[in-house]
Amino acid sequence: MHLVDIYLAQLADPFRVGLLVALLFTAANTEAALNRWIPIGLGLAFVAVLIPTAIGTTAGMDLVHTILVGLVSNLTILAVLLAVRAAYLRLTS
């Protein structure tokens, strides 16, 4: 698989999206104590490493490349989720 194929497959992974949604809820709950960006940064790295190592979805790619592509796809998904959250907060206030 090429890097673009892995990137698109990771964007469509419901387990990855679910983990990142849970990460946003957790970061919102710990915002008073830890700031918002520390748990988000650690969670992004955790999800990027967890899925290829635990589930084994490397698909013939090097593990390091899969993790790096996972970081990029996590950032993309998180940017969309944060934009949706910002739009929701703007519409409700």
Q: What is the pLDDT of residues 9-50, one digit of tens each?
A: 899 999 999 999 999 998 888 877 878 888 899 999 999 999
For the chain, how many structural domains are there in total? 1
45-65 tens-digit pLDDT: 999 999 888 887 656 678 888
Q: Which domain holds residue 34?
A: 3-92
- pLDDT above 80 for 4: yes
- pLDDT above 70 for 92: yes
For residue 53, the surrounding DSSP H or E stretch is none
Q: 52-90 burial by CB neighbour count: b if 16+ within 10 A, else e? A: beeeebbeebeeeebbebbeebbeebbeeeeeeeeeeee
